[in-house]
């Protein structure tokens, strides 16, 4: 059952990315281009996601434990350190230059979108390198 729920959640997430246009790197790049061909629709996508997620987190945390695990695995570290700042900066630059973040990039593989066959392997290499460097 856990595998089926995970598959359904992944398909729902990927469908939402496709429906919202987030699998199109130009959509992201145009959102970041404030003085050119600006496209504000990404702000509405993020706002919609926050409007659904915030109350859902509140309701889920009221439960004693998750449905398909023994306990909730919530982050405990609240400090801002140099690794976090550097990681966020690298992520932001990659997102702005490539127009993809991990979820939409992997979703775009199923669509054979141009550039994803270069972006995704490069992203995975970067993730592996970062994990080994910043242990």
pLDDT of the chain, 135 residues: tens digit per residue: 888 988 999 999 889 888 888 888 888 889 888 898 899 998 998 899 899 999 988 888 888 888 888 888 888 878 888 888 988 898 888 888 888 888 888 888 888 877 889 889 998 998 899 888 877
pLDDT at 86: 87
Neighbour tally for 103: CB within 10 Å: 15
Cα dist from 63 to 4, 58, 70, 93, whole Å: 22, 9, 12, 38
Question: H-type helices in 71-133, by residue range?
Answer: 82-98, 102-109, 116-133
pLDDT at 51: 95
pLDDT at 55: 93
Q: Which domain holds residue 90?
A: 2-133
Rg (CA), the chain: 17
Between vectors from CA 50 to CA 68 and to CA 71, what angle results, nearest 5°?
20
pLDDT at 12: 92
Instruction: Identify whether the C-beta of residue 127 lies closer than 8 Å to the C-beta of residue 119.
Output: no
pLDDT at 47: 93
Q: How many domains does the chain have?
A: 1
CA distance 53 to 13: 13
Task: Calculate the CA dihedral of residues 85, 86, 92, 97 and round it to 10 degrees.
Answer: 160
Instruction: Identify whether the C-beta of residue 29 lies closer than 8 Å to the C-beta of residue 99.
Output: yes
């Amino acid at each position: 059952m856990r595998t089926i729920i995970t598959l359904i959640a992944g398909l729902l997430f990927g469908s939402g990315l496709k429906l919202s246009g987030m699998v199109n790197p130009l959509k992201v790049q145009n959102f970041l281009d404030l003085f050119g061909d600006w496209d504000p629709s990404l702000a509405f996508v993020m706002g919609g996601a926050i409007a659904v997620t915030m109350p859902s987190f509140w309701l889920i945390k009221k439960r004693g434990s998750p449905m398909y695990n023994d306990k909730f695995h919530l982050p405990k570290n609240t400090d801002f350190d140099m690794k976090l700042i550097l990681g966020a900066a690298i992520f932001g630059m990659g997102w702005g230059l490539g127009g993809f973040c991990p979820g939409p990039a992997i979703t775009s593989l199923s669509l054979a979108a141009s550039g994803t066959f270069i972006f995704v392997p490069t992203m995975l290499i970067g993730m592996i390198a970062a994990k080994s460097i910043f242990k």
